[in-house]
Structure 1
Amino acid sequence: MREVAFIKQNKEKWLEFEHINSNKKKNSPDDIANLHIKIMNDLVYAQTYYPKSKVTLYLNKLAKTSFDKVYHSKRRDKNVFLYFFFDKVPLLSYQYRKYIYLSFIIFFCFFFIGILSTFNDATFARQVLGNNYVNKTLENIESGDAMAIYKGGSNWGTFIGIYDNNQRVGLNMFLSGLFVGIGTVFYIVYNGIMVAVFQAFFYQNNSFFDSIKGIWIHGTYEIFGMIIEAAAGYIIGASILFPGTLKRIESFKIGVKNAFYIFISTIPFTIIAAFLEGYITRFSNIMPTIFCFAIIIFSLVSISYYYLVLPFYVAKKHGLR
C-alpha cells in the first residue's frame, strides 16, 4: 500500500485517539485499549514499509501516548503498589524481555568459563577469591564446617551489611548502563566468573553439597536479582545506542525511566536475600536438608515466575500478545 493511501485509510482513528487524549471525547477503558491495539498494529506496519517516514515517527509517539493512556485508565481502580508490581513491571519485563535473556546468556557464558578455568588452573581460585579467603575456607573445611566464614557477626548486623553491599552492587550495574552498557557487562562478567569459581572451589574440596545449602538459600534471589539489575543497565545502554525513530535524548529518557522501574522491582528480592543470609543461612548445617532445598526451590520458582512467566500472562491480558 502506498503511504498516502495508508494515511488516508487510518487517519480517522488516529484523530479519534488525539481527541480522547485531549479529553474532548470520553471513552471507556476497554475502548481506549482496543484503539491502542489498532495503533500498535499501524505502527508495526509503518515500521515495516515506511521506516524513515514522518508517519512512523508520529505513530511511535502516538503509541507511547496510547500505552500510557490505556494503563493509567486501568490503574485508577487499582492499588498503586499492586499496579506497579503486578502490572507495570511485568509489562516492562515483557517489553524488554530480550535484554533479560541477554543478561542471563552473558552471565552463564562466563559462569561456564569460570568453571573451566578453575578446573584447568590450580591457582585460578586464589586469583579470583583471594588467598585469605581460600586459606580460611580450607581451614574451615578441615574443621568440619565449610560455611563457618559466613556465620560471624550478629543476625541484624549481617542482614544490614549484606543488604547494603548487594544493593550497591545492583545500583552500580544499573548506573553503569550510562556508559552504553559497557560497565554493566563488566560487572556481570566478574560476578558470573566469581560465582562459578566459588562453586568449583568447593567441589574440588569435597564440600559442594555444603556450599549448595549454605549459599543458594540466599543466593537464589541475590544472583537472579543481580542478573535483572544488569538487564536494566543494558536497557539504558540500548536506549543510547539504538534510539530507533525517536530522538536520542527522548529514547534515553524513556530507557532510563523504564530501566529504573525494573531496577526498583528487584529491591524486595534483595531485602529477602539479605534477611535469609542474616537469619537462615547460618543454620544451614543443622537444618534438615529437605527444608534447605525447599527454600531454594521456592525462591527459584517464585522469582523465575515473576520475571520470566508472569510478563507473558499480563501482556496477554492487556492485549499485547
Structure 2
Amino acid sequence: MREVSFIKQNKEKWLSFENAIFNNDFKDPDELASQYVHLINDLAYAQTYYPKSKVVDYLNQLAAKAYQKIYKTKREDTNRILSFWKTEVPLICYQYRTFIYVAFIIFSTFTFIGAISAANDGEFVRSILGDDYVNQTMVNIEAGDPVAVYKSGSNWGSFIGITVNNLKVGVLSFILGVFGGIGTVYILFQNCIMLGSFQYFFYEKGVFWESVRGIWIHGSMEIFAIVIEAAAGLLLGASILFPGTHSRFTSFKHGAKTGIKILISTFPFTFSAGFLEGFVTRYSNMMPNWLSVGIIIITLGIISFYYLIYPFQVQKRITKTSHI
C-alpha cells in the first residue's frame, strides 16, 4: 500500500484516538488497550514499509502517550510513584526529546558566548560575577585553594541554601516558559553566561583543572538539571505557540501538566547536587584526583543515563512488548 493511501485510510482513527488520549476521554481501560493494539500494529506496518516517514514519529509519540494512560489505569498497578520514575517520565522524555536537545544546544551556545566574552574583555567577568566575588576568588587562588568559596558556612546551611536557590531557578525557568519560551531562554542565558565566564576566569588564572575537579563534583547534576528544567519551560512555551489540532487552552493545559512532570523529575538530582556541594565539594582539594574525577563521572553518568539513554530503552521495551 502506498504511504498516502495508508495515511488516508487510518487518519481519522488516529486523530480520534489522539483526541481521546489528549482529553482523557477513555472511560473503559479495556477499550483503550484495544485501540492501543491497533495503533501498535499500524506503527509496526509504518516502520516496515515507510521507515523514514514522519508518520512513524507521529505514531511513536501517540503510542507513548497511550502507554502512559494504560499504565496509569491498569487495575493491578498500585505503585504509582515507582511507575512515575521508572516509566512515565522516561516516556515523556523520549516523546519530547527534541526539547531536551534544543535546551542543550542553547546551553552550549550561551556558555561558549560567556567564555569568548570573558576572553575578549578583561572586565567582563567582573561585570557578571561582581568585584567582591572576583577579588575574593583571586585571593583564594593565591592561597592555593581556588574553590575555597564553597567552604564558607556550615555543611547543612550550605546544603539547604544552595538547594533552595537551585529549586527556585528551576521552577522560575519552567514558569517563565509561559511567555512563549522566551523567559526560559533568558534564565538559561543568565546562568550560561555566568558559567562560561566563570570557567574562563579560572583558565586565565592557570587553575582550570583545580576548578573543574572541585566545582563539577556538584555541578554535573546541578547544571544538567537546569538544562532539563529549561527543556520543560520550552515545552510549555511551545504548547502555547503551536497548539496543533487542539485549542490553545487545551494544548497549554497538556503542556503545563507534562512540563511539571519533567520539572519534578529533576528535584532528586537538585537535592543530590546540593548535598554534594554542602558536604563534599568543600573537601575537593584534599581528595586524590581519581576520587574527585570518579565522583564527577558517576554523577554525570547517572543523570545523563536517566534523561538521554534510559528513555530509549523504555520505549524500545514497550514497543517490543506490544508486538508480542
TM (norm. structure 2) is 0.83
CA distance in 2, matches of 1:219, 1:65: 33
Instruction: Report how far residue 71 of structure 1 moved.
Output: 2.3
- What is the CA deviation profile of residues 246-292 of structure 1, one whole-angstrom value per residue up to 9, with x for unaligned ones? 11111101000000000000000000000000000000011111110
Q: Name the % identity.
A: 47
User: In structure 2, the residue corresponding to 1:176 is in which secondary structure?
Assistant: helix
Distance 1:291 1:63, change over 3 A: closer
Partner of 2:37: 34
Aligned mates of 1:226, 1:184 — CA distance in 2: 10
Report 1:247-286 matches (<5 A). 247-286=247-286
Q: 1:284, 1:4 → 2: CA distance? A: 59
Residues in 2 aligned to 1:37 and 1:3: alpha-carbon distance in whole angstroms: 14
Which residue does 1:52 correspond to in 2? none
Matched residue, 1:216: 216
Per the alignment, do residues 137 and 32 of structure 1 end up closer, same or farther by CA in structure 2, a change over 3 Å counting? same
Report the counterpart of residue 196 of structure 2 in structure 1: 196
Query: Residues 9 and 197 of structure 1: is their aligned pair in 2 closer, same or farther, counting only changes over 3 Å?
Result: closer
Query: Partner of 1:156 in structure 2?
Result: 156
- Residues of 2 paired with 1:263 and 1:180: CA distance? 17
Deviations along 1:116-151, one digit per CA (max 9) or x if unpaired, are: 111111111111111111111111111121111111
Cα distance in 2 for residues equivalent to 1:251 and 1:91: 19
CA contact (8 A) 1:158 1:278 kept: yes
1:299 deviates by 0.8
Deviations 1:89-134 (A, max 9, x none): 0000001100000000001011111111111111111111111111
Change over 3 Å in CA distance of 1:232–1:43 after alignment to 2: farther
2: CA distance, partners of 1:42 / 1:21? 25
Separation (CA, whole Å) in 2 of partners of 1:169 and 1:180? 18
Distance in 2 separating the partners of 1:110 and 1:302: 24
Matched residues in 2 for 1:37 and 1:144: separation?
61
| Distance verdict in 2 for CA 1:38–1:124, change over 3 Å | same
**Unmatched 5+ residue regions in structure 1?**
50-55
2:239 equivalent in structure 1: 239
Which of structures 1 and 2 has the bigger CA Rg? Answer: 1
Instruction: Provide the alpha-carbon RMSD of the alignment.
Output: 3.4
Q: How does 1:83-232 map to 2 (within 5 A)?
A: 83-232=83-232
1:6 matched to which residue of 2? 9
Cα distance, 1:75 vs. partner? Answer: 7.8
Counterpart residue identity of residue 72, structure 2: H
- After TM superposition, list the pairs within 5 Å mapping 1:285-304 onto structure 2: 285-304=285-304
Contact 1:111 1:195 in 2 (8 A): yes
Residue of structure 1 in register with 2:311 after alignment: 311
**Secondary structure in 2 matching 1:285:** helix
How many pairs align?
304
Q: Deviations over 1:21-52 (max 9, x none)?
A: 443x94796x564234247689999x989xxx
